[in-house]
Amino acid sequence: MANFQTNDKVRIKYHIQGKEDGQALIFIEGYSGNEATWAAQIDDFVKAGFKVITYDRRNHGKSQSVPYGMQIARHGFDLAELINHLKLKKPVLIGHSMGASTIFAYLSLFGCQNVKAVVTEDQSPKAISENDWVFGLFNSSWENFYKNAALIETTKLTRLPISSEIKRILGEAYRSYQPFDFHFNQPLLLDSLVQDWREEIKNETVPHLFLAGSASPLWSSEHSKAAASLSPFARAYTFKGCGHIPHLESADEFNRLVIKLFKKTVTDLQEFLLLLFNFQKQFSTCIFCLKRPCKFIHIELSLRRVKQTTQMEMLNYEN
């Protein structure tokens, strides 16, 4: 496992697999996780021709644990340092839970200039419910947020069974890791959860796919649609019956969706949307008319580019 040192002298471990000249994908694990949580993705994405990069964030997995840098902004900066260390040009960023927040932190610091596209999985961009946002952690308000945040450690995150093969791979991997220290890392969790990333989403200029599990125990799955509505470059997809970890609970569906979207270098927003909605039709109701099957495949095309916004169009294609 290779490593590099951050500018505040923390050793970050990472793996690179797949084609050296393939489109780079960076998978970022959630809170308390490690790179092994992507075990069900690596083979499929490597076979599809991608350059697959997994890493352990500071204080996670086999990366160095330190009592400083307990801010999600620091994790976003670490991601930037990894991208710079590997000299990556426009990687696709794929983050689960706090891994998604790490991406939001990166975007808040560096923007989308060196990012091809983003996939965030079951992470509400605002974890505290208020009048204008009802998709907080356990629907927490500021009054009960800290009490509810403590429940994450003991909450069962999955709702669908994980395959025995994935369990075996994860079990072998986790035996080589030190147990995650929830108490030690609580400041990181709280710092991450009090952020509001909605303005970052509004400023995005690259395709962004928001994923959610319909049975997530942490928040309403509607957070993904609400977040996607903030950007003309974003769309949402919900995994039916899944809890908080669709990439393990419905690994084949997750892999087919993301591979189909990004197997070709996506430079045209229209292509991104066509692929997404044609795929979504196989698994769920139409997000516009809420019917399955629907009479039309509804494709909303936004031709906005940086510093330029054109009129939104709605195109109907016969089923």
Q: What is the pLDDT of residue 169?
A: 87
Q: 50 is in which domain, residue-wise?
A: 2-285
- Quick check: is 290 in a domain? no
Q: Tell me the sheet residues that pair with 27.
A: 54, 94
Which two structure tokens, joined as six digits, stand for 118?
């983003």
Nearest CA among 88, 93, 72 for reference residue 207: 93
Q: Give the largest Cα separation in the chain, rounded.
A: 57
Which pLDDT score is estimated for 177? 86
In a domain, 109, yes or no: yes
How much is the pLDDT for 301?
Answer: 36
- Report the distance separating Cα 242 and Cα 59, nearest Å: 28
- With respect to residue 293, please indicate whether it lies within any of the assigned structural domains: no
**Per-block average pLDDT, block size 10, for the chain (319 residues)?**
97 98 97 96 97 98 97 99 98 98 99 97 98 97 95 97 92 86 97 98 96 98 98 95 99 96 58 62 51 46 32 27
What's residue 312's pLDDT?
A: 28
Q: Tens of pLDDT along 85-127?
A: 999 999 999 999 999 999 999 999 999 999 999 999 999 999 9
- The reported pLDDT for the residue numbered 277 is 61
What's the pTM? 0.85
Q: State the angle between helix axes of 98-110 and 186-193 in degrees (0 to 180), rounded to the nearest 10.
A: 60
Is 53 inside any structural domain?
yes
Instruction: Flag whether 280 is in a domain.
Output: yes
**Helix locations, the chain, DSSP H:** 39-47, 72-85, 98-110, 145-149, 164-174, 186-193, 198-202, 223-228, 246-249, 251-262, 269-283
Q: How many domains does the chain have?
A: 1
Whether 302 maps to a domain, the answer reads: no
Residue 222 counted as domain residue: yes
Whole-number Å distance between alpha carbons of 89 and 96: 22
Considering the domain boundaries, does residue 318 fall inside one? no
Any idea what the CATH number is for the domain that residue 131 is in?
3.40.50.1820
